[in-house]
Amino acid sequence: MADAHGARLRSTADRRVPPPASGPASGPADAGLQAHRGMTLLATISLFIGTRAAWTDAIRTKPAVAAVISLGYASILACGVLALLVRRQRSLIRVDAAVLITAITLVTCGYLLDHAGTDEGVLTAQAANEILHGHVVYGRAWPWLFGTHSVGITKTMSGGADYTYAYPPLTALIAAPVHAVVHSTAAATLVTTGALLASTVLLWVLLPPLWRSAATAVCLGFGFLPHYAYDGYPAITALALLIPVVVRWPQTGADGRLGTPGVLRAVCLGAACAAQQLAWFLTPFLLIGLYAVRRGELGHRRALAVVLRYAGTAVLTWSAINAYFAAQDFSAWLTGTLLPLSQKAILHGQGAMGISYYMTSGSSRLDFYSYASVLLLLGLLVATWLFPRRLGPAVTVLPWTAFYLATRSQDGYFLMMTPLWLAAAATAPGAAFARAWQPRLPRAATGRRAKVALTTALLAPALVCVVVAAASPPPLHMSLTARFATHRAHLGITALHVRARNTTGRRLTPHFASRTGQGASNWWTIAAGPAALAPHSSAEYVVTPPGGFRRVKPRTYLIAVTGTPMTITTVRVPSTAASAAR
């Protein structure tokens, strides 16, 4: 009897107390909701980035904007609570929308605080002004735009600087009517900031619900893209146009017909190429990937016809946007749009070129970094052609890796297109390339090891060029003697006596500048010394800093660069303490 009574009690307790859950989600649907919840929460947290700095700036200059930012904090906290409490996906999507609206509000506040722009914005606004007045845009130098310290300038290895508009015309065209009302650089920065906000909303709408908050975080929450928009970068306009191109791009031309979606994608691709040169590098990867996917479905002839119609529509769009400027002055237009590829700008960035710029005394073969960049790009294109099933999902990332080896390898070339990475991850997964066509390789080359060897062979030439550039010694052997003086209670350099010996077999024309970190100063003046050094000859130079006086900071270097061939020599400037000791 006692045993029966105990069994009934245990049975009642079992019915009242649910069994312990094995994890945070009890099924696939709950697991998906929890993943969505986590994405929403991460996007919400990302809105804190840079918000305090904006509020601190606003409370001093624009209290009304500071009040809106304070409300933004309240919205962030509310979204964080709701992201953890709502129980249905529909409600979580509403929270995602609230996070997006909060991000747009905060970015708009940031624009009101900072919209003066940098050199890209200033040049674009000036180009817009020239368009309004019917003047030629390309091939004209506007040096007066760079008279303030807030506006940077692109120096060239030949000792000059670039004062011209060197971007395709679309952003300036869009900014022209805005400039008719807003007579300042804000005309350009308003266009790029508006393009970023519009592209974020578009990406948010086009992505599956789980990924939408990730779009908010990548485009607006992390903070780096809004600052490029505030600066007036035309690349932001190109990004906005590339988003509809990349979302579900493997579906373009399905069943052998472009249809309205395919035509719109092609138009956006052509317009993006007419907005900024970065779109040029993505285009061949997209075309190769699209051909492979369509050929696996339709065969060679129909796939080629689809790709040609797609590319032709993009080219027509690009041509229509550029036609007016090409007709004004074809040579100047062509030179201007190709200038970033040919200008031989001074070293800058975080890539491989840093070996020769920051870590060694220089290199006599900097051109090999450029060769490496081109060879890597070509190698990746061939690899994409050979292995589209494997590399197809990474088509939106592969083009930017080539910039890591270039002499201009600043991180903006990588991160400004990161929303495209997200778009591809969400809408162009590996399954979309499962039936893509791949060229038939010889039987000996179909094994895993053979494929690795083939890929290595495609990429090895780029690596060899990097090694050549990094291992090459500096072309000049330089020794320095500093002339010091006191100016406004500060001790600094008024001139450097430089003894230089050309160790190469080529005639070199050196240009001098100083650096203390990642950037170089304006060019120093050669007060005495020859313009060029003959092979294996020596000469003495007297070079003076811009303004006639330069305070010496710890780890100050003098650099000597040449444009043809591209070379750099770096030597440390003696400190005041060391000079006094001598």
DSSP string, 377-419: HHHHHHHHHH-HHHHGGGTTTHHHHGGGGSSEE-THHHHTTHH
List of the chain residues with pLDDT < 50: 1-2, 9, 12-17, 20-25, 577-582
Q: What is the pLDDT of residue 486?
A: 73
Residue pLDDT, tens place only, 99-109: 999 999 999 99
| Residues pairing with 477 in the sheet | 501
Question: What pLDDT does 148 receive?
Answer: 63
CB 508 within 8 A of CB 475: yes
pLDDT per residue as tens digits for the range 521-540:
899 999 999 999 999 999 99
Kindly report whether the peptide bond that precedes residue 565 is cis, defined as omega within 30 degrees of 0. yes
State residue 559's pLDDT score: 95
Q: Do 571 and 558 touch, CB atoms closer than 8 A? A: yes
Share of the chain above pLDDT 70, in %: 92
Is 355 in contact with 409 (CB distance < 8 Å)? no
pLDDT of residue 149: 57
Q: Are 330 and 430 in contact (CB under 8 A)?
A: no
Model pLDDT, residue 3: 53
* Alpha-carbon gap, residue 294 to 305, rounded angstroms: 10
Amino acid at 489: A
Distances (CA, A) of 143 to 163, 183, 347, 421, 525: 5, 19, 21, 37, 18
User: What pLDDT is attached to residue 31?
Assistant: 79
**pLDDT of res. 25:** 44
DSSP letter (8 states) at residue 501: E
Sequential DSSP letters for 165-217 = --S-SHHHHHHHHHHTTS-STHHHHHHHHHHHHHHHHHHHHHS-HHHHHHHHI
pLDDT tens, residue by residue, 481-517: 988 887 666 778 899 999 999 999 999 999 999 998 8
pLDDT for position 578: 47
CB 234 within 8 A of CB 167: yes
pLDDT computed for residue 13 by the predictor: 46
